Amino acid sequence: MFKLSSRGAATLMLLGALVGSLTMTNASAMSNSTRKTLTRLQTKQEKVTKTSRKVDREFDRVGVKNLNALMQADDNGQVPTELDSGLSVYQLSRATKVSIGGKKTVTLPKGAIVRGSKYTLNPKFPSRFSINIADLTKANQRKAFKAFGVTTENCNFVLDSKNKTRLLPYQNSTAFSYKGVMNLPTLQTKNLQSYYDNDRQNNPFVIVTADNYLNYYTNYQAKKSGRIQYDHYTQSVKIKKFTRGASTYTYYLAKPLKGFGVKKVRVGKKTEYRLTVSLGHVFQAFDNDNLDPGMYRMTVKVGKKAFYVDLGGISEAYINRLTNNPYGSNVVDQTAAQAYIQGLK
């Protein structure tokens, strides 16, 4: 297990705004020529070959519990020894006033569970701590959305001598967090347009909240900005129990999650609904304009639905080694990448 650092926090904070502003392929407005192109790419990427089986076997071996590590970026061309700090989970030591840089503020209560990281935009001013709003507890989400608007992804507070708030590492093992690290990253629905690099804007996605709700969004968007309205989930189901297996996650839900193929089971005297999450096929996306090979993605199976995450540069270097790809972009040494992936436990 890798430790956590504050590296890349400012980049993480700005990522949500960047993704929201990209021009994406709208699946419902897809032209016939685009559909034909993506269908061709899908057919090629999903074809089972000896090489594809080898790649899938190597990545599936590490299990969904190492998914964050498979998404890890390089550290100036080197394999890092620490996971991205933006995955860190804490509790606030006291009631804390947070903002989005303007006059609007909201107070999160003492003990609030938060995910985020420290960042510094100007060394002349105190650092701040950025909090992801969408995975706060649902009660704290409502407070933040009411104050900042439902399309706001992050809020923050100042880390200085005047602010007595301490970030206490959250060590509870829950569906949301394990040993102070977020368990499950945001999962984007895998569909035809996923074979283009720029994909997310109109795709459904899944997150787990700090109070252990599984939220499924079908991307309700603000009419003017097109940004996701994070309070408009289609389904929100309480996770009653969570098991972190060697290769899979298993959620026991309080009620069915429609369309996911949950299995009704008896747990003691109660009825719950079992949902399994595991890794699937590794595939490649392509540039929207010129179809140049782009990033690799990992399929994540949630019940009977397929989602995906973007793999990081370390994973890409190892895939290039496994496939003997002479044209692949290797941000880190392939041998080091292999040792990194094979060393995940």
Q: Tell me: the pLDDT tens digits for 123-169?
A: 888 899 999 999 999 999 999 999 999 999 999 999 987 778 999 99
The predicted pLDDT at position 101 comes to 79
pLDDT, position 201: 65
Residue 25 has what pLDDT? Answer: 45
What averages of pLDDT result for each successive group of 10 residues across the chain (345 residues)? 45 38 50 92 96 96 96 92 92 95 90 96 91 96 95 92 88 96 96 89 90 95 85 96 95 96 92 97 94 95 97 96 89 95 91
Separation of alpha carbons 310 and 299, rounded Å? 9
Q: What is the pLDDT of residue 31?
A: 86
pLDDT tens sequence across 198-246? 876 678 999 999 999 999 999 888 888 888 999 999 999 999 999 999 8
First and final C-alpha spacing in the chain: 7
Q: What are the distances in angstroms from CA 206 to CA 45, 60, 75, 234? A: 24, 20, 28, 10
Q: What number of residues does the chain have? A: 345
Q: How far apart are CA 34 and CA 47, in angstroms?
A: 20
- Would you say 208 and 136 are in contact if contact means Cβ atoms under 8 Å apart? no
